Amino acid sequence: MGMDRREFIRIAGLSTLLGLGGKGAFELLAPGRVDAEIIPEKNALQAKRWAMVVNQKKLDDATAAKCIAACHQVHNVPDYVNPPNEKLKLDPEVAHRYQIKWIWTDHFHNVFPGGVQANLPEEVEHMNFLTLCNHCNNPPCVRVCPTKATFQREDGIVMMDMHRCIGCRFCMAGCPFGARSFNWRDPRPYIKNLYPGYPTREIGVVEKCLFCAERLAQGMMPACVEVSNGALIFGDLYDEKSQVREYLRKFFTIRRKPYLGTNPQVYYIV
């Protein structure tokens, strides 16, 4: 049985194509019809590098409380310290340890330990700082996550995929800012008003602030920024005209633990 030259070259060529690119190579030559697709929403907010400025001069305790309440409401963050009913009341010490915090306030000495800047005005040392995940440029939590449940998006947001979290808590050990909380128990009963637009979490996963990635995708500013009366500024660090850059140009800002090299992207005007 013979094979002519043309037949041989044809078969050799096709098998090389299969060997090099597998099935995909053939689909490249004859692209199949795409039945359905997912496209980004038109009004989604996009940036090269999201960053936040916290204007501590403008932020009073009431505004901070409002920011915390707004965030914890739209993200279904449970409240173990003040549970919705008496039956769920926990031992205060346990409740304190179980606390889930996306955004919270803390005293200067806890937020800037080791003296970020020597001899700051005394009023600064008495401030309550609004703290949240710093969405570091060099996030240690991402490096230690064994399942890539925590990962960094192209726009800088340190994102969490709860579906992948196995609850090993390496990220909590890795984060130098205490921005991550572990769900020691089922959080659902401890959520006062279940917000239907966002999922809750399960027992055994770690959670934190995500710079409201789900709201940005729908064209909305983060929940805390919306209710902060201008005390929180959020925007694109790579856009010279953005409000964040404007504030960074105008004011002297400090960041939390810059000496650790995580390059946090939440700036504080003091």
Partner 1 sequence: MADYKNEFGVFGDRPKVEKKLFDRNKVIAGLVIFIVLITIPLWKNLGKTVAAPTPSLDTPVINKLVAKDKKCIMPTEWMRANHMQMLIDWRENVVRDEERKVTTSRGREFVAPDGKKYLASLTNTCMECHSNKAQFCDQCHNYASVVPNCWGCHQETGKKLAEAK
The answer to whether 133 and 177 have CB atoms below 8 angstroms apart is: yes
Least distance between partner 1 and beta carbon 74 (Å): 11
Q: Is 32 an interacting residue with respect to partner 1 (CB under 8 A)? A: no
Burial of 77 (0-12, 13-18, 19+ CB in 10 A): buried
Candidate residues 39, 91, 115, 118; the one interacting with partner 1 per rule CB under 8 A = 39
Contact stretch for partner 1 (CB under 8 A) within 22-30, 31-39, 104-112, 171-179: 31-39
Phi, psi at 24, each rounded to 5°: -60, -35
Shortest Å distance, C-beta 151 to partner 1? 7
The answer to whether residue 159 forms part of the interface with partner 1 (CB under 8 A) is yes
Comparing CA positions, the residue from 241, 248, 240 lying closest to residue 267 is: 248
Give the chain's length. 270
If binding is defined by CB under 8 A, does position 162 make contact with partner 1?
Answer: yes
d(CA 94, CA 80): 9
Residue 142 as a binder of partner 1 (CB under 8 A): the answer is no
Select the residue interacting with partner 1 from 109, 202, 252, 263 (CB under 8 A): 202
- Asked if 30 interacts with partner 1 (CB under 8 A), we say no
Rounded Cα distance, 157 and 142, in Å: 11
One-letter amino acid of 88: L
According to DSSP, residue 87 is labeled G
Residue 3 or 44: the one with the smaller Cβ distance to partner 1 is 44
Least Å from the CB of residue 23 to partner 1: 12
Selected from 20, 29, 30, 36, the binder of partner 1 by CB under 8 A is 36
Contact pick of 11, 161, 166, 250 for partner 1 (by CB under 8 A)? 161
Nearest to 81 by CA among 62, 110, 104: 104
